[in-house]
């Protein structure tokens, strides 16, 4: 990888997607033109189409932005390493999952033909009848007829009674599951779900820790002791019991899981913020700033925040990996966000019953989970070396 740059990898991926998914790009562009011309009422379009549309636009806008913006251009000109390669792959999957997936992840193919097919199996699928979902080549007509008002038939059986003589050959890259669903597409959307949920939970943890850390650091001894006791209560509170309580009151949903994981992960960040503020408050440059009459919020933003940002960023990255692992564990145990979301943990759970006959059901989501955790851990260690070179000596 010494002679390869990050831009080479991304350019190769961009060209590959453009070549292998050209039909999808063509039909999305046709739909956009139909909306612009007024043939399709934009208010009646199912929101799922906007997922395709946003990915479609970003696919062409981002390369131009990288080329025109010097800061982004410098980032993508860096030498290719295993770390930035995997980070880039996850980034591409999150943004372009609709373009990379070969089918609707909720789509049930003909279960008689497609149940538990091994990776790279090729099957001839007859054209769907009625309101079943079509192939990519029929996507234009499908979106015009089905995604308006009714939308994609969630979990509809992709089944034909044998009367139609048209169809297509489908290659299942990662095989199919027990309900004849495409594992590859489900893992792509599961990657997006895991990272978005991790981002939401870590952001919530950071906001709680930051507010309480400021209050404890600048609020005096009383508030410091009070918030510390409050934090210790959370540290001693059983995590599983907290999850069960929230699920019992609010049910399974994306935002409930974000809330649960966010509330369970702010304590360590709070300790870091509070400790750094108390340590810096006694430094000469902070005392001098106070004597000059500089307001405390300016001291915080200009003097304290840049210093505490480096250890905080490292811990946020490491906690991001912990949140992904925690969510997968919850989904494996049945406490996840629900069946409407594609979680690696739930895929591993369903695959445990077919380990001897369908190893791919658990292997591929486990592989993505392991690679994401190793990537986040490596990123955290790299940031620590950058911000604190003495730690490696």
Position 147 scores a pLDDT of 41
Residue 239 pLDDT more than 60? yes
- Residue 132 corresponds to which tokens in the numbers above? 């079943």
Tally Cβ neighbours within 10 Å of residue 251: 9
- Residue 294 corresponds to which tokens in the numbers above? 């500089």
Tally Cβ neighbours within 10 Å of residue 375: 20
Ranges 73-82, 126-135, 146-155, 346-355: which has the least confidence: 146-155
pLDDT band of 365, cuts 50, 70, 90: very high
pLDDT, tens digit (0-9, with 9 covering 90-100), for 88-113: 899 999 999 988 988 888 888 888 88
Q: From the options 1.10.8.50, 3.40.190.10, 3.90.1170.50, 1.10.3720.10, give the CATH code of 190-392.
A: 1.10.3720.10
Report which DSSP code applies to 102. S
Dist CA 189 CA 316 (whole Å): 23
Dist CA 58 CA 226 (whole Å): 48
Dist CA 174 CA 101 (whole Å): 11
Report which DSSP code applies to 340. T
- CA torsion sign, 339 to 340 to 344 to 345? negative
Contact present, 25 and 56 (Cβ < 8 Å):
yes
Higher pLDDT, 82 or 2: 82
Locate all alpha helices (DSSP H) within the chain, ordered by sequence: 6-20, 22-37, 48-68, 70-76, 82-100, 111-114, 139-142, 183-218, 221-236, 239-250, 254-263, 267-281, 284-291, 296-299, 305-333, 344-351, 360-387
231: exposed, middle or buried (C-beta count within 10 Å: 0-12, 13-18, 19+)? buried
Residues of the chain with pLDDT > 70: what percent?
85
- The phi and psi torsions of 337 (rounded to 5 degrees) equal -80, -5
Contact present, 311 and 391 (Cβ < 8 Å):
no
Higher pLDDT, 158 or 284: 284
Look at residues 175, 208, 138, 122 and name the one whose alpha carbon lies nearest to residue 351: 175
**Residue 57: partners with Cβ closer than 8 Å, 6 or more residues away:** none
Residue 35 pLDDT more than 80? no
Position 150 scores a pLDDT of 34
Position 160 scores a pLDDT of 34
List C-alpha distances in Å: 203 to 37, 199, 231, 265, 385: 41, 6, 18, 10, 23
Contact present, 315 and 377 (Cβ < 8 Å):
no
Radius of gyration of the chain (CA): 25
pLDDT band of 44, cuts 50, 70, 90: low
So where are the chain's domains? 6-100, 108-172, 190-392
- Residue 76 corresponds to which tokens in the numbers above? 């993508």
Look at residues 237, 298, 312 and name the one whose alpha carbon lies nearest to residue 270: 312
Position 244 scores a pLDDT of 74
């Amino acid at each position: 990888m010494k002679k390869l740059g990050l831009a080479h990898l991304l350019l190769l991926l961009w060209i590959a997607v453009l070549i292998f998914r050209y039909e999808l790009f063509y039909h999305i562009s046709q739909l956009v033109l139909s909306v612009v011309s007024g043939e399709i009422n934009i208010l009646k379009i199912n929101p799922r189409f906007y997922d395709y549309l946003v990915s479609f636009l970003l696919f062409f806008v981002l390369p131009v932005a990288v080329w025109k913006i010097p800061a982004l251009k410098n980032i993508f000109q860096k030498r290719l390493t295993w770390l930035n390669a995997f980070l880039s792959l996850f980034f591409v999957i999150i943004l372009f999952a609709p373009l990379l997936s070969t089918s609707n992840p909720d789509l049930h193919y003909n279960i008689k033909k497609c149940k538990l097919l091994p990776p790279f199996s090729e099957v001839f699928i007859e054209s769907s009848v009625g309101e079943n979902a079509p192939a990519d080549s029929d996507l234009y007509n499908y979106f015009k007829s089905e995604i308006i008002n009714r939308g994609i038939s969630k979990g509809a059986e992709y089944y034909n009674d044998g009367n139609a003589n048209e169809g297509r050959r489908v290659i299942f890259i990662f095989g199919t599951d027990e309900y004849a669903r495409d594992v590859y597409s489900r893992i792509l959307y599961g990657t997006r779900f895991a990272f978005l949920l991790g981002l939401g939970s870590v952001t919530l943890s950071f906001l709680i820790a930051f507010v309480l850390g400021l209050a404890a650091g600048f609020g005096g001894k009383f508030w410091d002791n009070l918030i510390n006791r409050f934090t210790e209560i959370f540290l001693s509170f059983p995590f599983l019991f907290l999850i069960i309580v929230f699920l019992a009151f609010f049910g399974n949903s994306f935002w409930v899981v974000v809330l649960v994981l966010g509330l369970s992960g702010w304590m360590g960040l709070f300790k870091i913020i509070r400790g750094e503020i108390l340590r810096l408050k006694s430094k000469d440059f902070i005392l001098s700033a106070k004597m000059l009459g500089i307001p405390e919020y300016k001291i915080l933003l200009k003097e304290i925040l840049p210093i505490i940002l480096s250890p905080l960023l490292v811990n946020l990255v490491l906690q991001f990996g912990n949140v992904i692992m925690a969510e997968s564990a919850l989904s494996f145990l049945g406490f996840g966000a629900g069946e409407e979301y594609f979680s690696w943990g739930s895929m591993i759970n369903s695959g445990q019953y077919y380990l001897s006959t369908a190893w791919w059901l658990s292997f591929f989501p486990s592989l993505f989970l392991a690679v994401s955790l190793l990537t986040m851990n490596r990123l955290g260690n790299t940031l620590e070396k950058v911000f604190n070179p003495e730690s490696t000596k």
